[in-house]
Amino acid sequence: MPNIVQYRNKCIGCGICFEMMPGIWRMSKKDGKATLLNGSIKKQASVLPINHSLSENAKKVAKACPVNIIKVNE
Ligand code: SF4
C-alpha cells in the first residue's frame, strides 16, 4: 500500500494540497498548516496509507507543494 508522508513542521499553509485532494487533507484552524486526515505521526513526519488508485493524484500534490515536504512511497 502506498504512503503519503508529510514533513508537517515545514508546511507554510499554502493550501494547495487541500485544494487538490480535499478528502485527504485539511487545513488546521490552530496553526494554519495542512494535516493529513487520519494520518499517524512517525518520527518527524505524518504518514497516511492510501489506495493505489489515489497514488497518481498524491504524486501530483507532492510535486505541487511549494516547499517540497510531501513524499509518496509506493
Ligand atoms: S502544499 Fe505543502 S506547504 Fe502547502 S499546505 Fe500542503 S503541505 Fe503545506
The share of the chain scoring above pLDDT 90, in percent, equals: 96
The CATH number covering residue 62 comes to 3.30.70.20
Give the per-residue pLDDT at 38: 95
Low-confidence residues in the chain, pLDDT < 70: none
CA 62 to ligand 1 centroid distance, Å: 9
Distances (CA, A) of 49 to 2, 17, 52: 6, 16, 9
Give the per-residue pLDDT at 13: 98
Give the per-residue pLDDT at 45: 96
CA 1 to ligand 1 centroid distance, Å: 23
Cβ(45) to ligand 1 under 6 A?
no
- Number of structural domains the chain divides into: 1
Give the per-residue pLDDT at 56: 97
Domain that holds residue 67: 3-73
CA torsion 20-34-25-50 (nearest 10°) is 100
The share of the chain scoring above pLDDT 70, in percent, equals: 100
Helix segments in 1-74, DSSP class H: 16-20, 52-64
